[in-house]
Structure 1
C-alpha cells in the first residue's frame, strides 16, 4: 500500500510540475536540447553594459522587437504586465532565457523609452520588460532573424515596438515538437 501511495504521489507531483510551466492544456513536449555554451553567451547582455532593444522586420511578422544583435524577443502569456512578473523559471527559463538588463538603463532604438523597464526575477536578476511584459529569447532560435518561437504552445509571441504581442503565425515556423511551457 505504501508503494502504491508513493507511485501515485510521484505522478501527481510530476503532473503538477508540468502544469506549473503553463502548458495551457496542450500536450507536454520535452524541453529543447540546448547547452549553456550554445545559448547563454549570445543571449545575455554584456556584463559591463546595458541591454539593447531595437526593431527589425522578420518574415511575415512585420517589425518586431529584437536585442542589440538582432535576436528575436518574445513575451509569455502566463506572465503579468500590471504589475510586471515573470512566471518562467527553471526548465522554462532554459528553453526561454530571459533578456537580462545588465548594468545601466536599457538602450533603445525605434522603441519608446517610456515603454521599457525591468522586473526582478525570483532569482534576484533584473529582466527587461516592454510595456510591462518580461522579454525572453527562444533557445531554438539559432541566429538573428529567426523567430521559431512564434506561437509555440499558443502562449509565446513576438512583440511589436508598441509593446503589444503579435499573434500572426510565422510562415516558416513549425511548432510541432516545440515546448510551450
Structure 2
C-alpha cells in the first residue's frame, strides 16, 4: 500500500476516533504526500527486486516523478524514490534495450502492464512511452530511452553512487537527458 494511502487511512482513523470520543478538536486534515517522491506503489511492483525478465507481472501503477536531488540536479525517480537510469548502450530512436539476461539482475527494467499508464509528477506525458522487451514485457521509456533502476538502490536520493557506472549508466532527468553532477 502506498505511503500516501496509508497517510490518508491514518487521518481517517484519527478523525473517527476523535468523533467517537466526542473530542472538541476538529479532525486532522489529511497529510499531503511528500513532495520529493510520493509513493504510488511498492518498489518491487515497479520493476523492483525480484521483478526480472519474465518474472511475474504487477497491477500496481508505476510512477515517474521529477525530484530535486542536490548533487545531480532534477532527476526522475519511481514512486519508491529510486533513481531512474538510462544506458548509453541502449537506443532512443528507435527505443531499444540491450540490457537482457544477467544484466537485468543489476539493472532492473521499469515495467508497465499492458494498457496501464504511469502516474507522472513533473514529467511530460508526451515524453513517456514503452517498448516491447524480448520476453514480452513492456518497459517504460523517457524521451525514447528505456528506464531502469539499480538493484542496490534502497530508494531516496542519498544513493546516487551508480551514476556514471561503467561509463554507461546515468541517472536520467525528467526530459530523458543524462543528469549532470553539479
Q: Structure 1 length normalisation: TM-score?
A: 0.66
Q: Distance in 2 between matches of 1:134 and 1:158?
A: 12
1:158 equivalent to 2:171? Answer yes
**Alpha-carbon offset, residue 42 of structure 1:** 5.8
Change over 3 Å in CA distance of 1:52–1:97 after alignment to 2:
same
Match of residue 143, structure 2, among 114, 119, 131: 131
**CA deviation string 1:75-105 (max 9, x = no partner):** 0000011110010011111010000013511
Larger radius of gyration: 2
Corresponding residue for residue 14 of structure 1: none
Query: Where is the helix percentage greater, Structure 1 or Structure 2?
Result: 1
CA distance in 1 between counterparts of 2:46 and 2:112 reads 11
SS at match of 1:64: strand
Report what 1:141 is aligned to: 153
Structure number with the bigger relative contact order (C-alpha 8 A, sep ≥ 6) is 1
Q: Is the 8 A contact 1:140 1:149 kept in 2?
A: no
Q: 2:67 aligns with which of 46, 49, 56?
A: 56
String of CA shifts for 1:55-92, please: whole Å, max 9, x gaps.
11223101100001111010000001111001001111
Instruction: Give the RMSD, CA atoms, in angstroms.
Output: 1.9
Find the residue that maps to 1:154 and give its secondary structure: coil
Once the two structures are TM-superposed, the CA of residue 106 in structure 1 deviates from its matched residue by 1.8
- Detail structure 1 runs of 4+ shifted over 4 Å in the superposition: none
Q: How many residues align?
A: 130
Task: For residue 64 of structure 2, give the secondary structure of its aligned residue in structure 1.
Answer: strand
Structure 1 unmatched ranges of 5 or more:
1-39, 170-181
2:76 to 47, 54, 65: 65
Where 1:94 maps in the other structure, the secondary structure is helix
Match of 2:86 in 1: 75
Return the TM-score normalized by structure 2: 0.66
* C-alpha displacement of 1:107: 1.9
